Structure 1
Amino acid sequence: MTMTTMEILEEKSIQKPLAGKVAVVTGGSRGIGAAIAKALAEQGAQVVINYQSNMECADAVVEEIEKNGGSSYAIQANIADSQDVNRLIEDVKNRYGKIDILVNNAGITRDRTFRKLSESEWNEVINVNLNSVFTTTSAVIEHMLEQKSGRIINISSIIGQAGGFGQTNYAASKAGMIGFTKSLALETAKSGITVNAICPGFIETEMVAAMPDAVKDSIVSKIPMKRLGQTDEVAEAVLYLTKANYITGQTINVNGGLYM
């Protein structure tokens, strides 16, 4: 049965902005990563959720996405391990045939004052937070260059800009993501690929919820907007960058005015 012109126009008008796009979100099983995955799926993307160990949380995100009419699946991989990452990316390409969006979100903290910081705590944070950005991007970059399009979005942190007491390892990893973003953006700008970073401030996640109330109150008192950020507010910035064609090499701050 042939569709009428009006039916075709109506179908196009209700088509979601990211329909047909394939997105990979590292650390997508909870917190900011889960919010990003849900937002991308809501806009029509097929979303691959990477997780390290919490399969139950990852499956719960997939279930919620599919319940709301989206398309998603979860895959375990240690993103600091290049062989594991290559397996993940090959799995995605075999299933969907392409990758349009890579969100490097996975991260950990091992907070210690520098005098007490061990070499293993330094290396663990650098490997998961920064080296993983190299491994995942290396695995997708040739594919994106061939298709002459792609969006790489790196979730850095306000700590990578302003520093944080007891967080030399975390700050170094997140600042490294910003430098990586700017340099790769220069190399890929002519090829239809944009590379940007987002620096969340203090966002209402499980990590922040675990802080003593006095510490949270002290943080909020310093935020001009006088509240913690929400995970979906970070996700909104990701959505904006997936659709932006003339923005690359930039750092978008989502911090309520705490760092300007």
Structure 2
Amino acid sequence: MTVALITGAGRGLGSSLAIELAARGFKVAVHYHHSRSGAEATCDVIGSRGGEAEPFPGDLTSDHETRRMVADVAERWGRIDLLINNSGVYQEKPGLELTESEWFDGLNTTVTAAYFTSRACLPMLRDSPLKRVINIGDSACDHIGARDMAWSYHVGKSGVWLLTRSLAAQEAKHGLAVNMISPGYLDNSVGLPPAEDMPSGQFAGFADIHHAVRFLAFDAPSQLSGSNLVVSGGWNL
């Protein structure tokens, strides 16, 4: 038995990843904060296809709430083998127009959530034969440049990249591989530009991210840690 915990899995990419990993034999902990109906629907889809998943609520901007959520997963299955830190709130507003709550939402649902969740999961991840953490970044988070919109989200995703590398170095002695996948525009992204503006002429789809997750979870060499796979079709390079 292998167990995957996916944060922000009540909708969008997180939900799609939950369904994909369940199809590959994982028991899936579907984390949500506000998207309860989406998380339950995701679990229903997985169950209808013969898989096993359960929704787990939690505010990942709180260390206490995060530890409680992870403890609930441990009580249900007794292990976590793969953690995917996917959560993140994108505010489609010019940077200086963000409210105080929107600023902290962008930061806390990205880097703070990834930090608290990774730390809470570490004891079980270290004991797992798989030992994998995959963080979901953003196609430009590994290089510093100006952004027009959603400043706190982008600052947070750059923080997730720093966290990825720092945790990879820290946990290498335990054999834990920590890597990041950074999508460009996806089919469901907010504020999509014309597809012809993309270097590849099209947007990435969930299937492209599935391929990257499967590689890092199953096929990547054990010494591959602290890396960032940019899945953007050349966008933001």
Do the two structures share a fold, i.e. TM-score over 0.5?
yes
**1:162-201 correspondence to structure 2 within 5 Å:** 163-201=146-184
Deviates more, 1:141-150 or 1:192-201: 141-150
Change in CA separation of 1:97 and 1:171 when aligned onto 2, cut-off 3 Å: same
2:18 corresponds to which of 21, 37, 56:
37
Q: Distance in 1 between matches of 2:80 and 2:96?
A: 43
Q: What per-residue deviation string (whole Å, max 9, x for no partner) do you get for residues 7-38 of structure 1?
A: xxxxxxxxxxxxx1100000111111011111
The question of whether the paired residues in 2 share the 8 Å contact of 1:22 and 1:45 is answered with yes
Match of 2:217? 242
Q: Distance in 2 between matches of 1:73 and 1:155?
A: 21
Structure 1 SS opposite 2:193: helix
Q: What per-residue deviation string (whole Å, max 9, x for no partner) do you get for residues 54-105 of structure 1?
A: 2211111111111111111111111111111111111111111111011000
Match of 1:74? 55
Q: What per-residue deviation string (whole Å, max 9, x for no partner) do you get for residues 135-184 of structure 1?
A: 10110112323457511110011142455312321111111111110111
The question of whether the paired residues in 2 share the 8 Å contact of 1:163 and 1:171 is answered with no
Question: CA offset at residue 113 of structure 1?
Answer: 2.7
Structure 2 SS opposite 1:139: helix
Pairs aligned (count): 233
User: Normalized per residue, which structure has more helix?
Assistant: 1
Change in CA separation of 1:163 and 1:33 when aligned onto 2, cut-off 3 Å: farther
1:160 corresponds to which of 141, 145, 157:
141
Q: Which amino acid aligns with 1:76?
A: P
The question of whether the paired residues in 1 share the 8 Å contact of 2:141 and 2:157 is answered with yes
For structure 1, the 5+ residue unaligned runs are: 1-19
Change in CA separation of 1:231 and 1:148 when aligned onto 2, cut-off 3 Å: closer
Q: Distance in 2 between matches of 1:99 and 1:238?
A: 16
Q: Is residue 256 from structure 1 mapped to residue 233 from structure 2 by the alignment?
A: yes
The question of whether the paired residues in 2 share the 8 Å contact of 1:201 and 1:253 is answered with yes
Q: Distance in 1 between matches of 2:201 and 2:141?
A: 22
Q: Distance in 2 between matches of 1:61 and 1:223?
A: 31
Q: Distance in 2 between matches of 1:114 and 1:105?
A: 22
Question: CA offset at residue 216 of structure 1?
Answer: 2.8
Match of 1:46? 27
Match of 2:70? 89
Question: CA offset at residue 114 of structure 1?
Answer: 3.2
> What RMSD over aligned residues (CA atoms) do the two structures have, in Å?
1.7
The question of whether the paired residues in 1 share the 8 Å contact of 2:81 and 2:129 is answered with no
The question of whether the paired residues in 2 share the 8 Å contact of 1:29 and 1:50 is answered with yes
2:199 corresponds to which of 224, 248, 251:
224
Task: Give me the TM-score of the superposition, normalised by structure 2.
Answer: 0.92
Question: CA offset at residue 233 of structure 1?
Answer: 1.4
Q: Distance in 2 between matches of 1:60 and 1:96?
A: 21
Deviates more, 1:99-108 or 1:236-245: 236-245
